[in-house]
């Protein structure tokens, strides 16, 4: 169903969208690499069973972008969901505009979004709030006012600006031992757009296949991850033992942030710390590239969620903590309801 046009709204099919989005992106503090162009194509391919329609939009104050929403409508049988290709919707906000101006523009965003929900029969809206300075965004407040619910999302993040010596001291003694073991026994290679080859990604895929015991995703997703490296949206760290690839990991990267994405490790060597030096080298590599933060992954707690995490999941979370950093809190806000209920809001 076609959403009716709104004044001062630039949608993804408008030729102005790309330049306006880049203006908002350049001023964003986080620059989450999951929302870079090739990553967005990757997530569409990863969730190939769903049908996606782009619903991204930018809301103007005069000729200036005030807010930007990167999102899609996913169609899953009878379900109609607003996400960003199954990731949370990304909201960018022009902090150079004064609060009163942004408040006025946001009223237009609210009306536009309500219209999208009604026109498309949306069942769910999924947004992650990064709680800048501890405050809820306008978008979170909107979804909560509409009857949404917020749950915490915890992530382990290392501040890369403290320097290598502090990074080293911030890790556990056992983690440092594992890194030193890897330095002695494993040949480590950093792969980026300057030295990566397509054969490297194929070696990674085969190691992942061996570790998982099956193909977990399409060949095209691996090709896209290679394209990410070639485009500077990612890099990889490989570890070789006795001339055999035994550990490999893919890290997404933006000018400010590095995120540990995919890893594969030789299972018959799990008694040895074959992953430690890989992650340590990624921390150093992303720091050399100028990143401010390294995000190693989600943190789970025994009784936080309705379904307790498995022992394997808890072991992975504990492993992530060994590398130091802090556990940060974000809010996952989900609105689920009857779109007709918004008609009177």
Same domain, 14 and 144: yes
The answer to whether position 328 is within a domain reads: no
Which CATH number characterizes residue 53's domain? 3.40.630
**For residue 3, what pLDDT is reported?**
52
How many CA atoms lie within 13 Å of 89's alpha carbon, on the beta-carbon side?
28
Same domain, 218 and 114: no
Same domain, 141 and 216: no
Same domain, 46 and 111: yes
For residue range 250-283, what is the model confidence (pLDDT) as tens digits?
999 999 999 999 999 998 888 899 999 999 999 9
The answer to whether position 79 is within a domain reads: yes
Same domain, 55 and 181: no
Rounded Cα distance, 301 and 304, in Å: 5
Same domain, 183 and 52: no
The answer to whether position 57 is within a domain reads: yes
Same domain, 203 and 117: no
The answer to whether position 2 is within a domain reads: no
**For residue 1, what pLDDT is reported?**
46
The first and second tokens of residue 82, run together, are 């607003």
Same domain, 106 and 46: yes
Please count the structural domains in the chain.
2
Which CATH number characterizes residue 181's domain? 3.40.630.30
- Starting at the edge strand found earlier in the chain, the sheet holding 64-70 runs 9-11, 57-61, 64-70, 90-93
The answer to whether position 164 is within a domain reads: no
Same domain, 21 and 137: yes
pLDDT < 50 stretches in the chain = 1
The residue segments making up the domain with residue 99 are: 9-151+335-342
**For residue 270, what pLDDT is reported?**
83
Q: State which H helix or E strand residue 117 sits in.
A: helix 99-120
Same domain, 87 and 214: no
The answer to whether position 304 is within a domain reads: no
**For residue 301, what pLDDT is reported?**
97
Same domain, 131 and 206: no
How does DSSP assign 177-242, residue by residue? Answer: HHHHHHHHH-EEEEE-TTT--HHHHHHHHHHHHHHHSS--S-HHHHHHHHHHHHHTSEEEEEEEET
The answer to whether position 306 is within a domain reads: no
How open is the CA angle 99-131-136, to the nearest 5 degrees? 50
The answer to whether position 183 is within a domain reads: yes
**For residue 338, what pLDDT is reported?**
66
165 Cβ contact partners less than 8 Å away, ≥ 6 residues apart: none
Cα 282 to Cα 90, 186, 293, 338: the distances in Å are 26, 15, 12, 45
Same domain, 46 and 124: yes
């Amino acid at each position: 169903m076609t959403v009716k046009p709104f004044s001062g709204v630039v949608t993804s099919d408008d030729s102005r969208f790309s330049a306006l989005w880049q203006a908002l992106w350049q001023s964003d503090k986080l620059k989450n690499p999951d929302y870079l162009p090739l990553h967005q194509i990757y997530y569409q391919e990863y969730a190939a069973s769903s049908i996606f329609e782009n619903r991204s939009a930018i809301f103007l104050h005069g000729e200036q972008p005030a807010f930007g929403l990167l999102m899609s409508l996913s169609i899953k049988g009878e379900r109609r969901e607003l996400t960003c290709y199954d990731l949370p919707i990304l909201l960018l906000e022009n902090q150079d505009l004064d609060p009163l101006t942004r408040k006025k523009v946001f009223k237009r965003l609210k009306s536009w979004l309500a219209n999208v929900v009604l026109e498309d029969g949306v069942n769910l809206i999924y947004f992650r709030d990064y709680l800048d300075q501890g405050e809820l965004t306008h978008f979170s407040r909107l979804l909560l006012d509409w009857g949404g619910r917020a749950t915490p999302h915890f992530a382990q993040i290392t501040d890369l600006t403290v320097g290598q010596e502090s990074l080293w001291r911030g890790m556990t003694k056992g983690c440092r031992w594992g890194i030193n073991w890897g330095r002695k026994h494993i040949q480590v290679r950093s792969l980026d757009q300057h030295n990566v080859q397509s054969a490297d990604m194929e070696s990674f895929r085969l190691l992942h296949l061996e570790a998982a015991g099956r193909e977990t995703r399409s060949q095209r997703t691996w090709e896209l991850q290679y394209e990410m490296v070639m485009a500077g949206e990612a890099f990889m760290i490989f570890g070789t033992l006795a001339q055999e690839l035994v550990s490999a990991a893919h890290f997404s990267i933006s000018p400010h942030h590095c995120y540990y994405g995919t890893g594969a490790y030789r299972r018959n060597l799990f008694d040895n710390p074959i992953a430690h030096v890989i992650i340590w080298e990624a921390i150093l590599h992303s720091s050399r590239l100028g990143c401010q933060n390294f995000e190693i992954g989600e943190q789970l707690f025994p009784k936080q969620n309705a379904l307790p995490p498995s022992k394997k999941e808890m072991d992975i979370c504990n492993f992530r903590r060994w590398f130091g950093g802090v556990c940060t809190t974000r809010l996952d806000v989900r609105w689920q309801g009857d779109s007709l209920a918004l008609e009177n809001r």
